[in-house]
Amino acid sequence: MLDTPAEAPLRGAALIKDEVRRLPDKPGVYRMIGDDAEVLYVGKARSLKKRVVQYAQGRFHTQRIAHMVDLTRAMEFVVTRTETDALLLEINLIKQLKPRFNVLLRDDKSFPEILIRRNHPAPQLKKHRGAHAIPGDYYGPFASAWAVNRTLNTLQKAFLLRSCTDSVYETRTRPCMLHQIRRCSAPCTGLVSLEDYNGLVGQAELFLRGKSRSVMARMSAEMQAAADDLEFERAARLRDRIRALASIAQETKVNPETVDEADVFALHAEGGQACVQVFFFRAGQNWGNRAYFPRVDKSDEDPDVMAAFLGQFYEDKPIPRLVLLNVEPSDKDLLCEAFAIKAGRKVEIIRPQRGEKRELVEAALTNAREALGRKMAESSAQSKLLAGVCEALGLEAQPERIEVYDNSHIMGTNAVGGMIVAGPEGFQKNQYRKFNIRSTELTPGDDYGMMKEVLRRRFARLVREEEEGEDAVRPDLVLIDGGAGQLAAALEVMADLGVQDVPVVGVAKGPDRDAGLERFFIPGKEPFMLEPKSPVLYYLQRLRDEAHRFAIGSHRTRRAMDMRRNPLDEIEGVGPSRKRALLHAFGSARGASRASVEDLAKVDGVSEALAQRIHDFFRKA
């Protein structure tokens, strides 16, 4: 009896056709999955059955969609209550899974905001990034750290709000330098009552909500009254505060009169690439702009790109009442409904046809065109440089991901290893990593041992992720800052881990560390130099210098943290409250170290036993 051959598993259009038979006529989200469980595409539908059957019919608008269907090996579905719920789920899944065939928002970093922190009698003014977990009022987003720092500087001058931490606030016995330069009203030492201080906080809130004219009018009236009462010093202080507020209007080039709160988007696509320029307007002021370059395909239509971009952009950001754009997104009404649910109020999405709003969109579009032009020029130049690196170092293919490693320390202390990443789009700063050197067996200053530890940790993780089937990222080229010794140490680690298919190159500085005289070390080849004026040499120098800068910066941060560490933190039984009490009583940890047991025991919360422990800690051999 002959064995019946097993049926081949369904794939592509046949698989999709089979799935359609069991799908409901309800809204939901579908995922198309390829080999190795790779998610190819995430989509939403008003009717899963009607939407997915289109893929099974074989009539595709583009070759790209046909290719996606051919790659499909499985599908997954989630039925939702409404199409709006499907849209919100689709956005979330795209950001999590980053499917190959979806329009994808890249470089989606959080924006800085201004926070007036409310969980203290004297609210603190500070810059904030991330989730709104701290009780207080948040204002933003600002497009850059520069924009938020400028506004914070102005708010300090105008409203004299504190920016210090609570621990500093509690231990102050006299006003700090910020009070001396008229940036803080010094509530910490009682130079201003909490009632008056909170009045300043209220004025800052009004300003950040767009009521700047009323705030300045009130200050002008106070200044005039002070002058009439011959309080010229107080009048001068109010004058300086008014000037600080006026400076924001003077520094900002575009302050619309008809738009109080809005985000302005402009999309420009060309040659299979796209740029979306975003401007932020809050409180009637321009709070900066940023350019995004989403991953798109030539076949993607502008309305679809804009819809996908908006959904992903606002997935984790506050949504304004008004969104202005140059391309009306597909599913506009659905987006409005989804945004209204997230924001808890009405959200309008408008493509303006006339007036000031249209001028704002046109200005954003001009910036989008110019940004994309610069990006395409840079990409072309970067591609030529990478081709040159491939030729100069004898690589089999042009590298897409280059990792560069360097160490930094002072006499072996606070040792840190740094890894920077570069590729066709330049430096990929969200991929940078620092490694605090942990080994206690290393001789201080052992650069070879430090490099071994850094590479072992990096590539042991790579091996583990590959074994577990995770989305591991392999470099196409590893550059080591150093010569033959550093290269040998790196190759020893790679051999131990079985990672021997990644090219490793050592870059040694020239005599007297002269740029242009670098020697390159490649396994199996004699050390060599590149032409002094070679663009490839300049590029490799930039990579090495960036790794050096990053490693030194990480080392300095770690050293500064060590310097700020208080000896009181190491004493068992001394928590934040007792530490604050000791610092308040003796002024510093040094003052506490000189105190007698009797004086220490007089501090609130310090028992005789703890006082003896603190006394012994500072006098141990």
- Domains located in the chain, CATH noted: 12-97 (3.40.1440.10), 113-251 (no CATH), 262-374 (3.30.420), 402-562 (3.30.420.340), 567-617 (1.10.150.20)
Tell me which residues of the chain have a pLDDT lower than 70: 1-8, 59-61, 107-109, 210-214, 244-257, 410-413, 469, 510-516, 560-565, 620-621
Q: For residues 217-247, b (16+ Cβ closer than 10 Å) or e, as one string?
A: eebeeebeebeeeeeeeebeebeebbebbee
Helix (H) or strand (E) holding 585: helix 576-586
Q: How many residues does the chain have?
A: 621
CA 288 – CA 143 distance, rounded (Å):
5
What is the predicted pLDDT for the residue at 365? 93
Where does residue 368 fall: left (phi above 0), alpha (psi -120 to 50 degrees), or beta otherwise?
A: alpha
Supply the pLDDT for residue 251.
46
Over the range 145-180, which residues count as b (16 or more CB within 10 Å of their CB) and which as e?
eebbebbbebbbbbbbbbebeeeebbbbeebbebbe
SS3 content of the chain, % helix, strand, coil (to 5): 50, 20, 35
- Which letter, b or e, does each residue of 74-104 get, where b requires 16 or more Cβ atoms within 10 Å of its Cβ? ebebbebeebbbbbbbbbbbbbebebebbbb
pLDDT of residue 252: 47
The Cα–Cα gap between 62 and 94 comes to: 21
Tell me how far apart the alpha carbons of residues 237 and 157 are, in angstroms, rounded to a whole number.
Answer: 10
Per-residue pLDDT at 488: 92
Q: Give Cα 261 distance to the centre of its chain.
A: 24
In 3D space, the residue among 216, 239, 217 whose CA is nearest the CA of residue 227 turns out to be 239
Predicted pLDDT at 266: 94
Alpha-helical runs (H) found in 72-174: 83-97, 145-159, 166-171
CB neighbour burial string for 28-59, b if at least 16 within 10 angstroms, e if fewer:
bbbbbbbeeeebbbbbbbeebbebbbebbeee
Question: According to the model, what pLDDT value does residue 503 have?
Answer: 92
Which of 47, 36, 129, 130 has the alpha carbon at shortest distance from 86? 47
Say whether 297 sits in a helix, a strand or coil.
Answer: coil
CA angle 380/386/388 to nearest 5° reads 105
| Helical spans, DSSP H, in 11-144 | 12-20, 48-56, 63-71, 83-97
- The owner of tokens 């809130």 is 205
∠ at Cα 583 (578, 585), nearest 5°? 95
